[in-house]
Amino acid sequence: MAKARAVYVCQSCGYEHAKWSGKCSGCDEWNSLVEETRGGEKPASSLKSGPSLRAGYGAEGGMEPVRMADVELVEHNRINSGISEFDRVLGGGFVPGSVVLLGGDPGIGKSTLALQVAGDFAGRGLDVLYVSGEESLSQLKMRAQRLRIEADNVWVVGETSLERVEQRLRDKKPDMMVIDSIQTIATDQLTSSPGSVAQLRAVTSALTQSAKGLNIPTVLIGHVTKDGAIAGPKVLEHMVDTVLYFEGQPGMNYRVLRAVKNRYGSTNEIGVFEMRSTGLKEVHNPSAMFLAERPDNASGSAVVPIVEGTRPLLVEIQALVSPNNYGPPRITSIGVDQTRVMLLLNIIEKRTGLKIAGQDVFVNVAGGARVNEPAADLGIAVALLSSYLDRPVPGNLVVFGEVGLTGEVRAVPQAAGRLIEAKKLGFERGMLPRGNVPAIEEVTTPESAPFDGFKLEFARTLADLIREVF
Ligand code: TYD
Ligand code: MG
């Protein structure tokens, strides 16, 4: 066995250094290096021993290549989580034996979501093993009561030892397992502390093998953390099948579940939830939520259908352009990129002759939503112009399109889907890029006329937009 030696591992990105240093050369994080021992003990097993990768290998470790055409497809019988927004993000439910990493900031609602999924399994008579290394069982019970969860088939255990978790798993053979959180579980095979990169990798690798071996869908909860002593879920992303992040804005009740990796589905879907006193409630119609408090007839507000993954979503973009009397003019934006706002202001000035320079400009996406699609350009421009000209945007209008440097309005993807969502919510007019005409014609047939009773206006330039809207 090799002699033990010390290495310094960044707890943020996993980069290994031979010498200690204040700053990680992998990710530039400060004070994130922690000493770990290598070589003296059995190294943490890694991907190479995963059963799914080993399958098909002969005794000599060699495998004859097979024709792609001859490879047999394995059909996955998915198990619904019972929460359709969650299933959507998974790609249609859990694949047996798959491992899902559920990451997010502390307090965002990961345990709540996992417990609700567990409750739904239990409600259908399926057994769930919930391993809690974070909270006491009575805290868990209190939460379960608040969430009105069917407790009969949910088995809880307060445990932080990997070996004992594996034992419980083999004994119980549940239909689903939750580990809350992966950072609290440690193996006694390693000397490094719980939550370190080495522990996280070893524990995740072992639990992944157990899950696959016993065919149990598993949710691993991982905190996103800035603290150097505990590693984040990032270092585990390559080891699991699916990585979901649960996100929210400070002070806002809505939460977005996003897939950033999915071996069994697309990474484009999002699920939207609202945190209530009785737990997470699915939001099937997020557009209505984001538009709930839209003012009537106020200048500086525009509704834009953005696309999150494959899902069109209406958001309200607000702008305030006001003369600056207190020093150098400022541009402030929340929910949209400030550079984009600056660029649009310059394009508007140059291409329309309006003099906006020297004013303070604020742009905000209502409800705390985030917009980073070029398709929102036209909406931002309309909100800015509306505030500057002090003329309201018609309340029944939605606007979208990318704005180029010469003031031209460029086609964007999924034009028809955006308009259909707008129509569903009672909007009656859409202004969109001229270049999107073919996309609209494609979905308009004699049998289906999705835009009947909906007025479509096509803009080629910013000037067209100003003429039509104001
Ligand atoms: P939690 O699931 O514990 O977050 P995480 O596991 O990601 O750290 O949820 C934390 C917050 O959610 C907590 O501040 C209280 C709030 N909450 C509700 O508003 N309603 C509820 O029904 C529950 C269970 C939690
Ligand atoms: Mg928790």
The CATH number fitting domain 78-284, selected from 3.30.300.30, 3.50.50.100, 3.40.50.300, 3.30.420.40: 3.40.50.300
Walk across the sheet containing 5-10 and list its strands.
Answer: 16-17, 5-10, 33-38
Relative to the CA of 108, which ligand 1 atom is closest? 7
Specify the CATH architecture of the domain 289-469.
Answer: 2-Layer Sandwich (3.30)
- Ligand 1 pocket test: pick from 102, 112, 254, 277 the residue with the most ligand atoms within 8 Å of its Cβ: 112
108 lines ligand 1 (CB under 6 A): yes
pLDDT at 51: 44
Is 54 in a helix, a strand, or coil? helix
241 is in an annotated binding site: no
Ligand 2 center to 107 CA (angstroms):
7
Total residues belonging to the chain = 470
Ligand 1 center to 205 CA (angstroms):
28
Give the tokens for residue 243: 């990585």
Ligand having the closest approach to the CA of 247: 1
Ligand 1 center to 246 CA (angstroms):
12
What are the strands, taking DSSP E only, across 349-412? Answer: 359-365, 397-399, 402-403, 409-410
Q: What is the SS3 assignment for 234-290?
A: HHHHHHCCEEEEEEECCCCCEEEEEEEEECCCCCCCEEEEEEECCEEEECCCHHHHH
106 lines ligand 1 (CB under 6 A): yes
222 lines ligand 1 (CB under 6 A): no
Relative to the CA of 112, which ligand 1 atom is closest? 2
Ligand 2 center to 353 CA (angstroms):
54
187 lines ligand 1 (CB under 6 A): no
Ligand having the closest approach to the CA of 104: 1
Full pLDDT tens readout for the chain, 470 residues: 557 788 888 887 888 888 888 888 888 888 888 888 776 555 444 444 444 444 444 456 678 898 999 888 877 789 998 899 999 899 999 999 999 999 988 899 999 999 999 999 999 999 999 999 989 999 999 999 999 987 789 999 999 999 999 999 999 999 999 999 999 999 999 888 888 888 999 999 999 999 999 999 999 999 887 665 566 777 888 899 999 999 887 677 888 898 889 998 877 678 889 999 999 999 888 788 778 778 888 899 999 999 876 678 899 999 999 988 888 889 999 999 999 999 999 999 999 888 888 899 999 998 777 888 999 999 999 999 999 999 999 999 999 999 999 999 999 999 999 998 898 888 999 999 999 999 999 888 877 778 888 999 999 999 988 888 88
Relative to the CA of 113, which ligand 1 atom is closest? 2
Ligand having the closest approach to the CA of 132: 2
For 224-244, the pLDDT digits (tens) are 876 655 667 778 888 999 999
109 lines ligand 1 (CB under 6 A): yes
109 is in an annotated binding site: yes
105 is in an annotated binding site: yes
User: Could you tell me how many helices (H) and strands (E) the chain has, helices first?
Assistant: 12, 21
Ligand having the closest approach to the CA of 224: 1
Is 108 in a helix, a strand, or coil? coil
Give the tokens for residue 394: 């018609």
Ligand having the closest approach to the CA of 143: 1
pLDDT at 42: 52
304 lines ligand 1 (CB under 6 A): no
Ligand 2 center to 118 CA (angstroms):
14
- Ligand 1 pocket test: pick from 275, 276, 277, 278 the residue with the most ligand atoms within 8 Å of its Cβ: 275
Residues 89, 78: Cα–Cα separation, whole Å: 13
Ligand 1 center to 335 CA (angstroms):
24
Q: Among candidates 299, 397, 317, which has minimal Cα distance to 363?
A: 317
Ligand 2 center to 235 CA (angstroms):
19
149 lines ligand 1 (CB under 6 A): no
Is 468 in a helix, a strand, or coil? helix
Is 123 in a helix, a strand, or coil? helix
pLDDT at 195: 87
